[in-house]
Amino acid sequence: MIQSIDYWAIAAPLILALAAGLVLLLDAFLPARPGVRTALGCVTLAALVAAFAVVVAQRGVRETFCVPSVGCSYVVDATTVVFAGLALGAGAVVVLLSMGQLAEGDIPVGEWYFLLLAALAGAVTLPASRDLIMLVVALELVSLPVFALTALRRYDGRGAEAALKLFVVSVVSTAVMLFGVSLLYGITGAVHLDAIAAALAQPERPGAGPVVAVGAVMVVAGFGFKIAAVPFHFWAADVYQGAPIPVAALLSVVSKAAGFAGLILVLTQALPGEAATWTPIVAVLAALTMTVGNVLALRQTHPVRLLAWSSVAQSGYVLAPIATTDAQAATAYLVFYAAMNLTAFAVVMAVPHDTLDGYRGLVSGRPVAGLALAFALICLAGLPPGLAGLFAKVVVFREVVAGGLGWLAVVMAVNTVIGLYYYIAWTARLFTPADATRPAASRPAWIAVGVATAVAVGFSVAPQLVLATLG
């Protein structure tokens, strides 16, 4: 049997894959000059823009790699478009940040952009995956290049340590998830998500219930490592701090979004009939994740470590609506969080300091960067005028309460108050007068600040656009 392939459906990851090969070839044959670094960055950025245009142009539902009477392995729908657009938009900001990072000359440029494009190709493929095999392969395509990106800076012991920690954690998480996947396949005899759901809806086989429950728990645990959910979070702060800032931004947005996309797909499409098993687990994980992340963020004085623990806490807020089987609210919150977090990382890249006190007086010294960071932090805290963050939290609270998880809504409310402390404390420093000199940043880093801030402000002006896109 010969499968027909819808090349328009797979155009976005195909563009990224071809661009990755092109960048590597150009780096191998072009002379090592500063202008070549910029040219390779522009090629990468052009590929992301082209892939984003394809994603935006895709309408309706498109399916390919289909097996008759079984299902399709690759499906493009509204949720796929949102996750793919999120990954590509975040990738563009990461490329701009990378152009500033690579100007220092201690990182191989061709390899950097090749690995970055490979990771983004996996992030675009994953939300369209509709069978377990493609899900795992796409998730590893997101994860494996990040190890190398973390350790690619020469003579950087902290980066090598961070890469090793990330590698060990990812291997363990993949092993746990694969064991859960194997249990689901063994019980159902299917790899397509719809086929698994249909098989589990049949009259229960003797002894199948406990096996399915264990499989579901292990799949959740495997994805828990990827999204840094408690108790699988211990790697986050050290890896974020040890990695180059563009890689930390990639981990906090693109890698996390890919992990959530996979988790949502498996739980809502393959295991909807097992919701009674996994919803209490996800609810407890959400409560623990937001609480531990916020409490540990209170003690941080390094900006990247604070953003790392803040990212852990925000994962808890994304998990909360998943516990009510509401994927739309989780996706909307993830999109808002991504825009604000990228803005914060862009400013930290443009104006680097080792302590939060280094940002005192940033608004008076560098008004654009200071106001952009203040806006991002206020949005993450969920305060006006950061309407995007406020809107996102209201959506999540509404769905959690409507789902009958009042206790989780109370935990969210308490954690929102806890989070206000460190977000407002950092924001207050930005407006405190200081005479410290500000380190110069490259032009691409400032462009990244502008792009990320524009998106964040746009979401605050019209937050309903995200929900409208999700349909």
Output phi, psi for 372, to 5 deg. Answer: -65, -45
Give the tokens for residue 124: 């675009």
Q: Find, among 413, 429, 399, the residue nearest to 324 by Cα.
A: 399
- Whether residue 378 is predicted with pLDDT greater than 60 in this model: the reply is yes
Q: Residue 263 belongs to what H/E stretch? A: helix 256-265
Q: DSSP character for 359?
A: G
- 404-443 per-position pLDDT tens digit: 888 999 999 999 889 888 898 888 888 887 655 555 555 6
pTM, whole model, 2 decimals? 0.89
Give the model's pLDDT for residue 123: 93
- Name residue 435's amino acid: D
The pLDDT assigned to 152 comes to 83
Contacts of residue 430, Cβ cutoff 8 Å, sequence gap at least 6: 359, 360, 361, 362, 363, 370, 373, 374
Residue closest to 9 by CA, chosen among 70, 114, 68, 80:
80
Least confident of 50-59, 175-184, 226-235, 440-449: 440-449
Give tens-digit pLDDT for 248-294.
888 888 989 999 999 999 998 888 888 888 889 999 999 999 999 99
pLDDT band at 381 (very low <50, low <70, confident <90, very high): confident
User: How far is it, in rounded angstroms, from Cα 228 to Cα 217?
Assistant: 16
* Residues above pLDDT 70, as percent of the chain: 88
Q: What is the pLDDT of residues 451-469, one digit of tens each?
A: 666 665 555 555 555 555 5
- pLDDT tops 70 at residue 361: yes
Q: Burial letters for 108-118: b for 16+ Cβ neighbours within 10 Å, e otherwise? A: bbbbbbbbbbb
The ranges assigned to domains in the chain are: 275-471
Nearest to 358 by CA among 461, 287, 429, 253: 429
Are the C-beta atoms of residues 442 and 100 closer than 8 Å to each other? yes
Q: Is the pLDDT of residue 13 over 90?
A: yes
In eight-state DSSP terms, residue 63 is E
- For the cut 60, the answer to whether the pLDDT of residue 198 exceeds it is yes
